Amino acid sequence: MLSKPERVAFILQRLQALYPETPIPLDHKDPFTLLIAVLLSAQCTDERVNQVTPALFALADTPAAMAQLAVEQIRDIIRPCGLSPQKSRAIKRLSEILMDEHGGEVPVDMEALERLPGVGHKTASVVMSQAFGVPAFPVDTHIHRLAQRWGLSSGKSVAQTERDLKRLFPREHWNRLHLQIIYYGREFCSARGCDGRVCEICTTCYPERKHPKRTRKA
């Protein structure tokens, strides 16, 4: 078994080799459209979000235009993403708040983002890191699970996993690493594709692991 510093070094090296480029999987053109796309991605695949957002952004791709839409108009378009009643209300209300309190701009401020309807810490972290380049380490359920399989966090909570990953990895790697882990998980270490004993990173970090790694849910 590798030591934790050895695991961190190997994971960094391997992910950089596999994914030197890290395009954002959600289609967008600016911070506002990214914010909406990330909000829609809750309990929904990125692929489905990318199928839905062109129609929504054709109607409204700015806070000013989105605030003018009826909640029902938004809901009808985003219905395939799931949770459409809550998401449609959040999208309209946050657009109104951006107009009323932020001059029609997405704020470059974590606390201000987290105060917007439908925007939790993870969504705010994605916007800060991917729209504005501010170092952040968004942790979704998949990253939470992989951090446990790779011995990087105990998995007591998503918040704890985020703190552990930020402590282990250099700040300048956070934004890219968030996406690299997502890409790797989807390709090699998915919930059904690996149980901690299958993929290259799992088997390199824990070559003697005999039993499936039981992970805590977020």
Share of the chain above pLDDT 70, in %: 100
pLDDT at position 139: 94
**pLDDT per position as a tens digit, 78-137:** 999 999 999 999 999 999 999 999 999 999 999 999 999 999 999 999 999 999 999 999
- Concerning whether 87 is annotated as a catalytic residue, the answer is no
Distance CA 49, CA 29 (A): 14
pLDDT at position 41: 96
Selection from 43, 117, 120 nearest residue 81 by Cα = 43
Please pick, among 109, 122, 210, 213, the residue that the annotation labels catalytic.
122
Please pick, among 140, 195, 210, 213, the residue that the annotation labels catalytic.
140
pLDDT confidence bin for 218, thresholds 50/70/90? confident
Q: CA-CA-CA-CA torsion for 11, 28, 90, 69, nearest 10 degrees?
A: -170
Look up the pTM and report it: 0.92
Domains of the chain: 4-22+137-205 (1.10.1670.10), 31-131 (1.10.340.30)
